[in-house]
A and B are shown apart, each in its own frame.
Chain A
Amino acid sequence: MTSKEQHSSSFRDPSGYIFIEDNILKRRILPIYFKQYYKLKKSNFFDKLFKFGLLINHKEVSASDTEIVICPEQIPFITYPYEWSFVQYKEAALFTLKLQKFALENEFSLKDASAFNVTFHNGKAIFIDTLSFDFYEENTPWRGYKQFVTHFFGPLLLAHYHGSEILKLISNFIDGIPVKTIASMLPFKTKLNPFLYSNIHLLSKFEDKHNEDYKGEAKVTALSKKGQLNIIESLYSYIKKLELKEQSEWGDYYNKTNYSDNAFNLKANIINGWVNTLNAKTVIDIGGNNGAFVRRITSNLDLALVCDVDNNAVDNNYRQVKKNKESYMLPFVLDVLNPSANIGFNNTERFSFIERIKDFAPDVTLALAVIHHMTLSGNITFEMSAHFFASFSEHLVIEFPKQNDSWVQRLLKAKGEFKSHFDFYSLKNFKSDFLKYFTIVEEQSVEDSERVLFLLKRK
């Protein structure tokens, strides 16, 4: 991509847009935003934001009367809100409130509060929409308030009552879950809580009422800065305490695996050895649970993507990232049987997982204890999974649990009378299908288990 054209995901805000030049993402700022930009720059507010790691760093490339071009620090892999675990989502929400408070204290205000303005980079949430800052006008309410409720507060609240799966809804409601929908899905008792009543139920009623005000007759009530800070602070303290009700199912997966500590260590050592020999700098672990195997890699990785279908595993991983300040680890939620699609206008606003991972092209892909789930739960043939894995990375470390493995047996039993249909699940067939796309570099059985590890190289 060398086009100077407006990027297909950047059209909502007339203040400017991003574009890609020589594979580098840049941002063009238009005269309508010059006043804000220069004030942000000259008052050192940009510098403050960079210093505290709140906004993605940028450098001014050129400035004329008609356009300013800035070049932000490049983020190698963007994750979207519908790929965040509950704890990550919560972090992004708290982060946005924190940022708005900080902006207000410096006489600025976020003009929107879209969840897509935040992503995870260097082990933490960061704001990526440089043009979201505007001047704070005395006594005006927060324009981003409704968006904050529909993008952050509502989804988190619903996840608290209905489980983390709710967080995926935002891939269908790209501009937030409608307030009415949020209100209708909350239990009755939330109406008795003054905080939830005012922020959700009453908001829904007001929105309904004013929807028919086509002439714009209603007057926007004044709100002092103190008042706005009250809203922001109360949202912060409420969200900070929000937890999921669901019990960890896979979160402590490694306590109930079917192989011994010995086999676990052997497996970790083999993987570490191979990744080291490849001198890999970037990794994706598909079905990586809480990142246990990636953490056992001793070479210096620039970036390790660790995705899993289970929210609790990703939560567990992200908690470790936060606690240990691991900047190279990027956990996210992904169902390999249904990866994120291209969505938004023209289907080009948010990119599919496949498109992003092909762009990122990690040096090595780890697929540990995942092929039996793909094959036996997802009915994905070996040929299809081989094709999939070969599409984005040069090397593949894959673990094959043999037919006698207890997990495999369990999955096969669930097939009932169709069990014989899955007789093709064997090491021999696996190898012959994968060899259409890969060559075998190394092959090693894991002692004390029914599993074989392969290091494959794409043909």
Chain B
Amino acid sequence: MYFLYFDPGLGAMVIQAIVAAVAGVILFSKNLLYKIKIFFNLIKEKEDLFDDITIKDTDIENKSNSDK
């Protein structure tokens, strides 16, 4: 159950199927392009200030608490 204490925007709820479809196409083509670039050795590793979206185990900061 959701608590509707703010208006999520009906339009915004309806539109997400379209946004997701567009995003799917973009992500797919980017992925493809990435694979092609890797194949031709065109990817240069560069230092990035921001990480990837996926949270990895290496992101654990509180090592002492980690085996609780």
Q: Which residue of the partner chain, among A98, A149, A199, A220, contacts B10 with CB atoms under 8 Å?
A: A220
Chain A positions 322-358 with a Cβ under 8 Å from a chain B Cβ: 322-323
Q: How far is the CA of A54 from the CA of B5 in the complex (A)?
A: 24
Q: Which residue of the partner chain, among B5, B49, B53, contacts A232 with CB atoms under 8 Å?
A: B53
Chain A positions 137-152 with a Cβ under 8 Å from a chain B Cβ: 137, 141-147, 149
Chain A positions 223-242 with a Cβ under 8 Å from a chain B Cβ: 223-224, 227-228, 230-237, 240
- Check B36 for interface membership: any CB of A closer than 8 A: no
Q: How far is the CA of A220 from the CA of B17 in the complex (A)?
A: 10
Chain B positions 15-68 with a Cβ under 8 Å from a chain A Cβ: 15-27, 30, 49-50, 53-55, 59-62, 65-66, 68
B16 touches A211 (CB 8 A): no
Indicate whether A223 sits within 8 Å of B8 (C-beta atoms), given known contacts A90-B50, A94-B50, A237-B30.
no
Number of A-B contacts (CB under 8 A): 150
> Which of the listed residues A213, A222, A230 has the most CB atoms from chain B within 10 Å of its own CB?
A230
Q: How many residues of B contact A (CB 8 A)?
A: 37
A319 touches B24 (CB 8 A): no
Which among A10-18, A155-163, A392-400, A406-414 touches the partner chain? Answer: A10-18
- Check A258 for interface membership: any CB of B closer than 8 A: no
A240 touches B50 (CB 8 A): yes
B19 touches A231 (CB 8 A): yes
Which among A200-208, A259-267, A276-284, A369-377 touches the partner chain? Answer: A200-208
Q: How far is the CB of B35 from chain A (nearest CB, A)?
A: 16
Q: How far is the CA of A223 from the CA of B21 in the complex (A)?
A: 10
Indicate whether A52 sits within 8 Å of B20 (C-beta atoms), given known contacts A111-B2, A145-B8, A208-B11.
no
Q: How far is the CA of A210 from the CA of B23 in the complex (A)?
A: 23
Residues of chain A within 8 A (CB-CB) of B55 are 52, 54, 98, 101-102
| 14 A–B contacts from the bound complex (CB under 8 Å) | A14-B5, A54-B55, A102-B55, A141-B16, A143-B2, A210-B10, A210-B11, A213-B10, A218-B14, A227-B16, A227-B21, A230-B20, A231-B16, A234-B22
- Which residue numbers of B lie inside 8 Å of A, CB to CB? 2-3, 5-6, 8-27, 30, 49-50, 53-55, 59-62, 65-66, 68
